[in-house]
Structure 1
Amino acid sequence: MDPIPDLSDEFPNWLELPRDVTASILLRLGAVEILTSAQMVCSPWRNLCKDPSMWRAIDMGNNNHWNDDELNTICRDAVDRSCGQLVDINLEYFGTDKLLRHIADGSSQLKRLRLVHCYYDISDEGLSEVAAKLPLLEELAISYCPFSKEALKAVGRSCPLLKSLKFNNQDYGLPRIECDEEALAIAENMPRLRHLQLFGNNLTNDGLQAILDGCPHLESFDLRQCFSVKLTGNLERRCAQQIKNLRLPHDSTDDYEFGAELDGYGSFDDDYPSGSSDIDHLSHSDYYEFSDGSNFSDLYDSDYDYDDYYDRNQNFNYGDFYLD
């Protein structure tokens, strides 16, 4: 009879992995999976998940199986675990003024803030109040949130180190109403900007001119779906000379991180009959980079079977199972 093989020689002991390797693996799960699953596996993982260095970046995206109250609670706990070391946070499809205040109160070192589809639970006043507590903020990404020029002004005044701004419009597919208020707020209050994305904005040539004047250090500028901008003549030449990486209103949206179908709106203007201009050669980089900061997608495990996880945990209550 053949001896029983020693399986320890074939399969690694995950508990014997170096601490930094284990940390790297856990970070790919994201904050929700760490706090509701991974930390419960064993004591070494539990202790590692308490380390503040694990929470310098918090990704709260792609969590469709959790309600807003649960996500707010989980996020607060993750921020608390950072012990003031948080520098990068991503909130998607949830968030409140109260949560933002909690983040700001415990994260004076925060450099990167990303808000996506936060709808109406975070107000202009809430974002303005929080900005006053984040003087080191360098990168702000706002996509499809109903903030106005007042919030942009407050951010610009309170965050003098801001170098990257994404302010993307959820109404890019609707008929255009020209408006330069947001562009002027940026031009007058964010002089150190180097990277700017205004996808689907309603600014006109006047707003563009103001940004070029008020943001002299601008290196990259994304104007895709900004169909009220007509780049011709001197303005076209100035953009070509001043902006290293320029995306034009009719440029391809294939590399845009959100859906960008126009559904019949936003037809091409006669100024650009072929969808390009004389400086089109400036706008075909394979990847439009706004910063050299962390990429939340690198921390998210896209292969994880969340449907299976949900089926096995339909009655899971974060408050019942969370371990301090």
Structure 2
Amino acid sequence: MLQRECGWRERRGAPGGRERRPLCMGLLLSRPAALLKSRKEARLRAPAPRPGLADPYCRGPRSCCGGFVPCPAPLGETESEEEEEGASGEPCAAYAEMPLAGGKRKCNSTNNTNGGDDPGSLLSSKLPCLSPAPVDGVGPTGDGHVAAATVPAEAANINRLPSSILLKVLSYLSLMERCLAASLVCRLWRELCSDPELWRRLDLSGRQKVTDEVLAHVTSLSHGVTRVCVADCRAVSDAGVALMARSCPALLCFSATRCKQLTDGAVGSLARHCPALRSLNLSNLDAITDDALRQLGASCSDLREVHLGQCYLLTDAGITALARGCPLLTKIYLLENHLVTNSSVQCLAECCPRLQYVGLMGCSVTSRGVRHLARLGELVTLDLRHVSELDGETVMALVRSCSRLTTLNLCLNRGIDDRCVEVIAKEGRNIKELYLVSCSITDQALLVIGRFSASIETVDVGWCQEITDHGAIEISRTSRSLAYLGLMRCDKVSEDTVEELVQRYPRIVYSTMLQDCKRTLARAYQLGWKPSGSAGSAP
């Protein structure tokens, strides 16, 4: 037994009475091999300990095996013989100078008969508890028990994995986690964190200390940078974007949301130096003009996705130039672009037949312009929130023509009524999400959705004052696919009815003010949150 105490103790049963002997680790080194073998056999016959718990057979220091491998008791002694009668309570000098698990320090005990060799390595060769057992040692013993074993320490080291696997693991960490945590673990990890493979996708969003110099430096660490996000980086200017564009000719995606300091110069640099650009997010850049879109249309013909929401200076001229120069567009998002009218929608429908996502919320577009979208056979998502003078006939024509449509957002359009919803439920075979917030619909709309639609999973009818308990009950009872029902501020739907529906149809998520608060509170408790005014935390 490895003793932490230094002193003398008496050994009962010794010839001539009691024998006093020093308690030192060096004494274990002179134990007969036969006794060691007998103790090892006894250990193998013992049941294997449960991982993660202290082994009841381990009487050595916890750090020698961590409780995962049974450690033998002192040879020839029973548990009752381990009671000390004269221990001083002070650590043995030899034991204190030796690390608990391996190491290079020497044991200076006079009982070390091995000439000052490293006791950790010597004990590892004699006591199985001090060295991990080989994996192939696992197996049944003669009495039906299973021998305990662990994976060798050198084999369990994560650094023994191939570098390609370690790089894949590190790629799931954020940029800050790699720089401030992983790179400080060891030299190998520091070298791996500097690998150009990990610097091809850079997310610098929200970092206010990212300047032009920082952006130019991090983008020069790899010759194959494909994604850069500088959203909310207010210290990045047109010059910094230009330096980045020169060092990233293979750039595919760039996002600069809410970087209001950027102008047409930044977009022009991207267009000149990054012709392979495929995704561009310039939302809320109110200094961008039509000239930026002309440069994109002239140089970036492979552009597939573009976000231009709240770019208030854009007009039909810029959208038209972009549509004609980028025929492969699949997604365009416009939000409150008040200078964009029906002519832009018509040009997009004619020049970009592959469009799958179109967002026109708050634009100066009417039903006349929306009708042009009916020629987009691959349209999947259509956002028509708050479109001026949008009528039900236009929406019904779109649903009949665009058979692949899966998401339809018609919020804030008073021209959408029960008849329009009925056509959507019957003709929209692939529609899964339908948003009807603040539309002119009644319970009849919910009834037809539940009766005729087998695909709609999400329905939001918040702020529709004509929705009552009857409509919520019927759509819950008849719909086979419904998974979410939004009833926010539907004042004619009582909370008692919603509580009953929650209990009766657990597969459906009901959204009301009270239900959302309950889910938020339950989630907070799961994450360990406790009310500050609780009795346990009160002073």
Q: Tell me the TM-score range normalised by the shorter chain.
A: 0.5 to 0.7
Q: TM-score, normalised by structure 2?
A: 0.42
Q: How far has the Cα of 1:135 moved from its partner? A: 1.4
Partner Cα separation in structure 1 for residue 376 and residue 220 of structure 2? 46
Which runs of 5 or more structure 1 residues have no equivalent in the other structure?
A: 172-176, 252-266, 288-324
CA drift at 1:247: 1.5
1:214 to 340, 343, 351: 351
Structure with the greater alpha carbon radius of gyration: 2
Question: Structure 1-normalised TM-score?
Answer: 0.67
Tell me what 2:196 maps to.
52
1:200 and 2:259 are equivalent in the alignment:
no
Structure 2 match to 1:77: 217
The offset of 1:189, in angstroms, is 2.6
> With CA pairs under 8 Å and 6+ residues apart, which has the higher RCO, 1 or 2?
1
For 1:38, which of 175, 182, 186 is the aligned residue? 182
Describe the shift of the 1:17–1:200 C-alpha distance in structure 2 as closer, same or farther (beyond 3 A): farther
- CA drift of 1:206 comes to 2.1
Choose which of 227, 235, 241 in structure 2 pairs with 1:100: 241
Q: Is the 8 A contact 2:275 2:300 kept in 1?
A: yes
How much does 1:170 deviate? 6.5
Code of the aligned partner of 1:78: V
Q: Secondary structure of the equivalent of 1:81?
A: coil
CA shift for structure 1 position 110: 1.2
- What do the CA deviations read for 1:153-212 (whole angstroms, capped 9, x no partner)? 1111111211222222277xxxxx995344323223322212222233332222211211
2-side partners of 1:238 and 1:227: how far apart? 15
Identity of aligned residues (%): 21
The question of whether the paired residues in 2 share the 8 Å contact of 1:111 and 1:138 is answered with yes
Contact 1:39–1:49 (Cα < 8 Å) also in 2: yes
Q: Which residue of 2 aligns with 1:125?
A: 265
* Aligned equivalent of 1:150: 291
What letter corresponds to residue 111 of structure 1 in structure 2? L
Relative to structure 1, the CA distance from residue 114 to residue 154 in structure 2 (aligned partners, 3 Å threshold; closer, same or farther) is same
What secondary structure, in the 3-state scheme, does the structure 2 residue paired with 1:184 have? helix
Task: Please tell me whether the aligned partners of residues 246 and 283 of structure 1 are also in contact (alpha carbons under 8 angstroms).
Answer: no
Q: 1:135 aligns with which of 272, 275, 281?
A: 275
Q: What is the match of residue 168 of structure 2?
A: 24
Q: Give 2:65's aligned amino acid.
A: D
1:67 to 198, 209, 220: 209
Alignment-derived partner of residue 48 in structure 2: none
- The residue number in structure 1 matching 2:229 is 90
Inter-CA distance 97–56: structure 2 relative to 1 (3 Å threshold): same
Measure the CA separation in 2 of the matches of 1:88 and 1:250: 30
User: Which residue of 2 is the match for residue 6 of structure 1?
Assistant: 65
Q: Using the alignment, how far apart are the partners of 2:172 and 2:305 within structure 1?
A: 25
Could you tell me how far apart the structure 2 residues matched to 1:67 and 1:243 are? 42
Letter in 2 for 1:6: C
For the residues of structure 1 that align with 2:273 and 2:229, how far apart are their CA atoms? 17
Q: Considering only aligned residues, what root-mean-square deviation do their CA atoms show, in Å? A: 3.4
What is the one-letter code of the residue matched to 2:265? Answer: E
Q: Aligned pair in 2 of structure 1 residues 250, 148: CA closer, same or farther (>3 Å)?
A: same
Superposition deviation, residue 227 in structure 1: 4.5
Task: Give distance in 2, aligned partners of 1:102 and 1:108.
Answer: 11
